[in-house]
Amino acid sequence: MDIKVSFAGGKKINAEVNGKTIYTDQPRDEGGENTAPAPFDYLLASLATCAGYYVMSYLQARDLPIEGVQVIQRHSWNEKSHRLENIELIIQVPADIPERHHRPLQRAAASCSVKKLIQNPPPFEIRTELAE
């Protein structure tokens, strides 16, 4: 699968993925117009939504209610090193989901492929080539 990036003016950069466009921009303090999430925001959101998908799948497979369930992602940022220090995923469940499902829900969220990719990154190759 190819993802094609195009430059849309200012700090806006778009990505074409499977016939759909993902719009990005930078915050105003980074020179952007803040019209869309920044690329790093999408990375963090992909982790949270991926975990959410596995939580939802677990609940649906067991005919458990999805209403009232939330996945909240929190992270701490080191201002000096400009790196994430910690990512925390919290699965909030209503009281009508029995406690025996809490650990399996955590395991379901942990099986997220985005999390696995971050924990075991592939090698990167970056090169230039002449445009056709």
Task: Provide the residue ranges of all domains of the chain, joining segments of one domain with +.
Answer: 1-36, 38-122
User: Does the structure show a pLDDT above 90 at 15?
Assistant: yes
Write down the pLDDT at residue 16: 98
Output phi, psi for 114, to 5 deg: -70, -45
Write down the pLDDT at residue 132: 84
Return the structure tokens found at 121. Answer: 């990154």
CATH of domain 38-122: 3.30.300.20
Write down the pLDDT at residue 48: 97
Write down the pLDDT at residue 7: 97
Average predicted confidence (pLDDT) for the chain: 96
| Band (82; pLDDT cuts 50, 70, 90) | confident
Contact residues for 39 (Cβ-Cβ < 8 A; gap 6+)? 13, 24
Write down the pLDDT at residue 66: 96
Q: What is the pTM of this model?
A: 0.88
User: Does the structure show a pLDDT above 90 at 113?
Assistant: yes
User: Does the structure show a pLDDT above 90 at 35?
Assistant: yes
Report the amino acid identity of residue 14.
N
Identify the DSSP state of 29: G
